[in-house]
Chain A
Amino acid sequence: MITMKHVNKSYGNHQVLYDIQAAFEPGCVYGIVGENGAGKTTLFKCLLGLETYEGQVESKWQPLKDHLGWLPTESYFFPYMTGREYLQLVCNARKTELGDATEKNIFDLPLDEFAVHYSTGMKKKLALLGILLQPNEVFILDEPFNGVDIQSNILITEIILRLRSLGKTVLISSHIFSTLRDTCDEILLLQQGRITQKVAKADFDQLEREMKDVSIGDRVDRLLGGVHE
């Protein structure tokens, strides 16, 4: 279990996270939703230990970072490195055997080609494959469905559900509500650096309606009303 207690984060005078309190249980999938700039990635980086913060992040796994698999929104790939070599590097970092990469290549990636030449979706799948090959207990997936084809989307959803049944903790940030509805046990709504709602599965539809109302409002009318009607 991971517990965030009164976590605050500022960059100079600009406060990004306000008094974050949350608990993430093993065998549960959590969705983190919020507009761009709401603080999702900063929250993740505090959990990862990549940002300093006020407050506490407690966990039974020590150090927590060695048990975390992080899929960033945009992964960096070194030039002149093949997909297979990338997987080797990622496994080496956590002192785990890569084994037969071809067997584990469930996304049918061209592992012997340079990863920098992969499409956006292929890069996302390679980075995801990398953290899945590590013996992680917690997975933080920042936009795992972005740019990924529909077949892989289905596969990633299945993987997340399997991770849950294996007792792993999964945190997902996604702008595609349906993917969260399919996978999450709880959704945390992050607004301007504050967790304003924690919504259980039974209330996801209500949350989606509320988010639609707030997000859409009269914006479409304002944009298209005078021009196309």
Chain B
Amino acid sequence: MSDNQTLEHYFRLQKSLLERWIADIGLPVWAGYLLAVAAFLLGNLILFYKTDLAPYLLMLLGGLVLLSFNQPDKINFLQAVYPAPVFRKIRLLECLAPTLPFLLVLGWVQAFLPLLLLAGFAVLVAYSSGLRVSRIPLPTPFGSQPFEFLVGFRSTFIWLLAVHGLLAIGLITGNVNLGLFALMLVFATTLSYYGQPEDRYWVWLHNDRAEAFLWLKIKTAWRHSLMLAAPCALILMGFYPAYWYIVLAIVVIGLVYLSCFVLGKYLNYPQQMMVAQSIVLGVGLFMPLLLFWLLPFFYRKSVLKLKAILS
């Protein structure tokens, strides 16, 4: 089999896996593709409508998506299985593919600097083994309840550095909106820590009842997210005291969103959240008042699901 045939076989297999995943979440394959494209375009429209910094935020998002595809076990497996030239091509294509939609939009809006930075980053990730899981554990303040935040913080550390870089730029240039946006991004990052439901073993292990288990999860999420967001929030309040109420509002809404995501993780447990549930949650994010109805609903549904394991 030639290198090109090997590559074609590999990417056909990846396409099949993607389509099986779409089918698993209950969507026809065509609808999955359509939904992804529509969500991406709509997200871009909102982003560019809302802020002048959209190209840089898009660049950061592209980088985050790229890093989320950068799974060390998979890379090790590929390296072990394929000859070096094929492995390099696979890595390059796999790093460019998820960033391509972002690069196209950046090219369309003629934002060439973020485009070059993102493309360069993709090539760097493809050819670097240094961005794989570091073997030196980063110290964190989350060791007393080591789970979502500990794992999430270490896996998004580079991203969080970039977010704090945005905060610094906001402070230096006197752009309060950028600083506030960085605080929102800190909370948005913590939401991603609750995206994947854990294996049933990790729920079964607890000697709590379902209700207590959920409360513990929510309280831990609140405490840890405050630890992560507090420096950013306090610096903003220090530099822009007049905006204290906006900072406070972002923190409170962030905690409410986080509670929704914690509950959302167990809505369809042990399976992932269903598409309909994700859409309801997505709508809730844009209409915060809806969350006052959603939170009790999510709580009751999650308790029911967890009782099958914890009762």
Within 8 A of A (CB), among B17-43: none
Stretch at the interface among B2-10, B52-60, B115-123, B198-206: B198-206
Residues A112-169 near B (CB distance < 8 A): 112-114, 116-117
Q: How far is the CB of B193 from chain A (nearest CB, A)?
A: 11
Binds A, one of B88-96, B146-154, B229-237: B146-154
A81 touches B150 (CB 8 A): yes
Residue among B72, B151, B204 making CB contact with A50, cutoff 8 Å: B204
**Of A12-20, A25-33, A88-96, the one with at least 4 CB within 8 A of chain B:** A88-96
The reply to whether the CB of A226 lies closer than 8 angstroms to some CB of chain B is no
Instruction: Tell me if A104 is interfacial: C-beta within 8 Å of chain B.
Output: no
Q: Which residues of A contact B (CB under 8 A)?
A: 48-50, 63, 65-66, 70, 72, 76, 78-82, 85-86, 88-90, 92-95, 112-114, 116-117
Contact A72 B201 (CB under 8 A): yes
Instruction: Tell me which residues across on chain A come within 8 A of B201, comparing CB atoms.
Output: 50, 70, 72, 76
Query: With A78-B151, A80-B151 in contact, is A88–B143 under 8 Å at CB?
Result: yes
The answer to whether A85 touches B155, judged by C-beta atoms less than 8 angstroms apart, is no
The winner among B135, B199, B200, B204 for most chain A CB atoms within 10 A is B204
Please name 8 further chain A to chain B contacts, defined as beta carbons within 8 Å, in addition to the given A114-B137, A117-B135, sorted by A numbering.
A50-B204, A65-B204, A76-B202, A92-B144, A93-B202, A94-B207, A114-B133, A114-B135
Chain B's interface size range is: 20 to 34
Judging by beta carbons under 8 Å apart, are B133 and A85 in contact? no
How many A-B residue pairs lie within 8 Å, measured between CB atoms?
64
Per-position 1/0 for B122-142, Cβ under 8 A of A: 000000000001010100000
Q: Which listed residue (A49, A72, A86, A92) contacts B309, Cβ 8 A? A: A49
Residues of B within 8 A of A114 (CB): 133, 135, 137
Residues of A within 8 A of B145 (CB): 89, 92
Closest-CB distance, A48 to chain B (whole angstroms): 7
Among residues of A, the one whose C-beta sits closest to the C-beta of B71 is A79
Instruction: Tell me, rounded to whole Å, the shortest Cβ–Cβ distance linking B192 to chain A.
Output: 14
- Sorted nearest first, the 9 A-B pairs with minimum C-beta distance are A80-B154, A85-B146, A66-B207, A93-B205, A93-B206, A80-B151, A82-B137, A89-B146, A78-B151
- Chain B, 60-92, CB within 8 A of any chain A CB: 72-73
Interface pair A85/B143, CB less than 8 Å apart: yes
Are A93's CB and B207's CB within 8 A? Answer: yes
Q: Are B199 and A76 in contact (CB under 8 A)?
A: yes
**Measured between alpha carbons, how far is A90 from B73 in the docked complex, in Å?**
24
Q: How far is the CB of B220 from chain A (nearest CB, A)?
A: 10
Q: Judging by beta carbons under 8 Å apart, are B207 and A89 in contact?
A: no
Find the A residue at minimum CB distance from B145: A92
Closest beta carbon of chain A to B61's beta carbon, Å: 22
A211 CB → nearest B CB, Å: 30
A219 and B103 CA atoms in complex are apart in Å by 60
Q: Could you give 25 example pairs across A and B, Cβ below 8 Å?
A: A49-B204, A49-B309, A50-B200, A50-B201, A50-B309, A65-B207, A66-B207, A70-B204, A72-B201, A76-B202, A78-B147, A79-B72, A79-B151, A80-B137, A82-B137, A85-B146, A88-B146, A89-B146, A90-B205, A93-B206, A93-B207, A113-B135, A113-B137, A114-B133, A114-B135
Q: Which residue on chain B has the smallest CB distance to residue A131? A: B205
A129 to B205, CA, bound (A): 15
| Min distance, Cβ B130 to any Cβ of chain A, angstroms | 16
The answer to whether B72 touches A80, judged by C-beta atoms less than 8 angstroms apart, is no
Residue of B nearest to A69 (CB): B205
Docked CA distance A86–B201 (Å): 13
B26 to chain A, nearest CB (A): 20
How far is it, in angstroms, between the C-alpha of A76 and the C-alpha of B204 when the chains are bound? 13
B150's partner among A80, A95, A116 (CB-CB below 8 A) is A80
